[in-house]
């Protein structure tokens, strides 16, 4: 779940090809959308919520979903195959950052193979 409108249907389809279901929250916060999804899920225990927000982690666990800290999730993704899995997790943070650093969002979009200069709002597929 990402804050804001979808950047494009192509991005969501591309990520789905890797087994990831991407949802953009539209006009509401991603946190609210995550909580609603957990409330409405018939089998929330099958979900994994990736967030560094402790309130979201708590609510995910309350619904019996798995909660993973964002930094630990990225570290696991970037860990080379066969690397030591027993490395300690990063310490929890009290809050998530308010805003990304200037250019950070565009840099991540480019790293993931998307063009941040061509945003579009293709959220109708969510309904």
CA 25 to CA 3: how far, in whole Å?
5
Burial 64-97 (b: 16+ CB within 10 A, else e): ebebbbeebeeeeeeeeeeeeeeeeeeeeeeeee
What is the structure's pLDDT at 89?
Answer: 53
What is the structure's pLDDT at 119?
Answer: 57
Model confidence at 85: pLDDT above 70: no
* Alpha carbon distance, N-terminus to C-terminus of the chain: 15
What are the φ/ψ torsions at residue 73 (nearest 5 degrees)?
-60, -50
Rg of the chain (C-alpha set): 16
From 24-28, 67-71, 117-121, the region with the lowest mean pLDDT? 117-121
Q: What is the DSSP letter of 50?
A: E
Tell me the whole-structure pTM to 2 decimals: 0.53
From 46-55, 64-73, 81-90, 114-123, the region with the lowest mean pLDDT? 81-90
């Amino acid at each position: 779940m990402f804050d804001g409108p979808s950047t494009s249907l192509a991005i969501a389809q591309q990520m789905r090809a890797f087994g990831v279901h991407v949802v953009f929250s539209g006009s509401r916060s991603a946190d609210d959308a995550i909580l609603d999804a957990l409330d409405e899920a018939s089998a929330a225990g099958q979900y994994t919520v990736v967030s560094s927000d402790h309130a979201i982690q708590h609510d995910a666990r309350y619904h019996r979903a798995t909660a993973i800290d964002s930094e630990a999730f990225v570290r696991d993704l970037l860990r080379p195959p066969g690397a030591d899995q027993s490395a300690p997790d990063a310490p929890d943070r009290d809050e998530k950052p308010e805003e990304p650093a200037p250019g950070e969002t565009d840099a991540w979009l480019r790293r993931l193979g998307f063009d941040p200069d061509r945003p579009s709002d293709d959220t109708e597929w969510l309904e």
